[in-house]
Structure 1
Amino acid sequence: MRSPVRRSTRRGVTGAGLAALLLAGGAVGCSKTAADRSPDMAPAAAVAAAAKKTQDITSLRYRMAGEMPGEGTVEAEAAMTTEPQAMSMKMTSSTSGGTVQLRLVGKALYLNGGPGTAKELGGKSWVKLDMSALGGAGADLTANAMGAAEADKNPAAETAFLTGAKDVKKVGTETVDGVRTTHYAGKVTLADVRAAAKSEGKATAEQRERSVGQYEKMGVDAITMDMWVDGDHRAKRFRMRGEGDKGPLDLTVTFLGLNRPVTVTAPPAKDTTDLAELMKSAQG
């Protein structure tokens, strides 16, 4: 007989695993002078400039909405910082049936699956996984199931995917959340993304490789991508479409803030159950 704790954790984990594909490298505003210059750039050059800008990101806020293979429709808002490493996300999806919260603080991952989880954990709302204490293939699988791989990456890598496309074109100019942008589009394979990453520095290439891996797990090998770039040559929004093993991918990410203060704190200890201790107890 499967324990109610396992059922509850898995239900919350499904939503967290969605977390993040996440995605990003945004910006929020630009001067009129800069906006007037951006449309004059060649499409490939404009996309490359936006990708390069992602390398100076230390924190960002964003929202995403759309559909993911095997997970249904998704809506989320998130904030993250690279120094210190931290991330916070709230997400709803058609498969989770409610709101799932995810926090990453250093190497500790926290998951809140909602009232159902709290009820089955003796009133505690959060499950904690200490990734620094993991060991063995089984522990790695547990971490990935809880969304550790997604939470641990910087989503800025996705905006650089379009640099690998050979058919980048300018679609037109559009206003996104009050910001004037230039819309670019193209189609890229994951092999193209890897090839383009070879010309980047080691850290950037490794980061992009982690992002590519997430799409490979979904069975997506080619992506039609749209990107909206503001007058400061930063991505304001991007959309990815493709076909995965378990259904379509159609995800749009809009950036709400860049390099602004982001604070993420661990949930109170009295509200948290340590997954390692929970597993030991179950084995006992």
Structure 2
Amino acid sequence: MSISVRTGRKRAAAAVLAAALLAGGAVGCGSEKSDEAGEDISPAAAVKKAADKTEDLTSFTFRMKGTVPEDGRVRADAAMSTKPLAMSMKMTAPDQGPEKVEMRFVGGAVYLGGGKEAAKEMDGKSWIKFDAKTMGKGGGKSAGGSVSSQAENNPADQSTLLTGSKDLKKVGSETVGGVETTRYTGTVTLDRMRELGKNEDAAAKKRHAKSIKQYEDMGIEKLTMDLWVDGEDHTKQFRARGKGDKGPLDMTITFLDYNKPVHVEAPPKNLVMDIAKEMKGLQS
């Protein structure tokens, strides 16, 4: 398989993964709903309450559509498990090429599959394997390490970033995918995100820092976020928009299910090209 084809397929996957992490699995906002005492709670309190629910998420499925800086349009259907950590995603990135790409993250490795078209260029092998441990050695930023690093993030962590919004407000009621929801909108800057991160525990700081890094890499300093929240304080749909130095971010994620079993398996070994081994062969 040529280096250009490998790079294009890796970039397509990275674009969708980055979007998942950036616009990710917010578990939402319940502004102006009633608490147990029957009293309305503020938008900020509702966002905090819903953000706390992310701790209960062990898996989720979602659909995403939009654009990301530099890589353009992306579409994907995905399922993710947090315990154990695994993800399966089928994606297209029309501005990077017509190929459909499947990504699987399992056992600490990322597998990218292009089906029969990829097999024609890789001596019958239809999957490329990126191993973070081996690809990260030797200094520099490896393609495999970059994709794996993105896959290892939990997109649900993104919901905590909205707690930093100072202008959160209710827009109104809307139906999304047959579900009655309430829509909310707000803006938040990276400076505000960094400020809030100072008060978190070590594990939360690490997750928070990874989320912020994604925006920094795109040159985005301010985000506009919209959430469509169902009656159980779960986000049914989430949209994130921002202007980066490499182009605009505008990604919408629609959640399909929560806490249902997600099983991800590595592709058969005879169909996999291991990039780490290929690179080692080239060096020798």
TM over 0.5: yes
8 Å contact 1:80–1:262 — kept in the other structure?
yes
8 Å contact 2:27–2:51 — kept in the other structure?
no
Question: What is the letter of the counterpart of residue 101 of structure 2?
Answer: V
Select which of 16, 19, 22 maps to 2:16: 19
Identity %: 46
- Asked if 1:80 is matched to 2:80, the reply is yes
Who is 1:135 aligned against? 137
1:26 deviates by 4.7
1:269 deviates by 0.6
- Asked if 1:118 is matched to 2:119, the reply is yes
In structure 1, distance between residues paired with 2:114 and 2:195: 39
In structure 2, distance between residues paired with 1:224 and 1:247: 15
In structure 2, distance between residues paired with 1:215 and 1:42: 28
Q: 1:258-277 counterparts in 2 under 5 A?
A: 258-277=258-277
What is the total number of aligned residue pairs between the two structures?
272
Who is 1:10 aligned against? 7
Who is 1:228 aligned against? 228
8 Å contact 1:37–1:231 — kept in the other structure?
no
SS at 1:88 equivalent: strand
SS at 2:229 equivalent: strand
Distance 1:80-1:176 versus aligned 2 partners, 3 A rule: same
8 Å contact 1:11–1:113 — kept in the other structure?
no
Who is 2:107 aligned against? 106
Q: 1:87-236 counterparts in 2 under 5 A?
A: 87-97=87-97, 98-133=99-134, 134-138=136-140, 140-145=141-146, 147-236=147-236
Q: Which shows bigger deviation, 261-270 or 51-60?
A: 51-60
Distance 1:41-1:175 versus aligned 2 partners, 3 A rule: farther
Question: What is the letter of the counterpart of residue 256 of structure 1?
Answer: L
8 Å contact 1:241–1:251 — kept in the other structure?
yes
Deviations along 1:115-153, one digit per CA (max 9) or x if unpaired, are 443222101010112223342323x423245x1121110
1:255 deviates by 1.0
5+ residue gaps, structure 1, are 28-34
1:158 deviates by 1.6
Who is 1:32 aligned against? none
1:93 deviates by 1.1
TM-score scaled by structure 2? 0.89
SS at 2:142 equivalent: helix
The alignment's C-alpha RMSD in Å is: 2.0
In the TM superposition, structure 1's runs of 4+ consecutive aligned residues that sit over 6 Å from their partners are: none
In structure 2, distance between residues paired with 1:92 and 1:142: 19
Who is 2:55 aligned against? 55
In structure 1, distance between residues paired with 2:102 and 2:89: 6
In structure 1, distance between residues paired with 2:34 and 2:103: 39
In structure 2, distance between residues paired with 1:36 and 1:219: 36
SS at 1:123 equivalent: coil
In structure 2, distance between residues paired with 1:236 and 1:257: 9
In structure 1, distance between residues paired with 2:150 and 2:7: 16
- Of structures 1 and 2, the one with the larger relative CO (CA 8 A, separation 6+) is 1
- Asked if 1:257 is matched to 2:257, the reply is yes
1:36 deviates by 6.9
Q: Which shows bigger deviation, 129-138 or 236-245?
A: 129-138
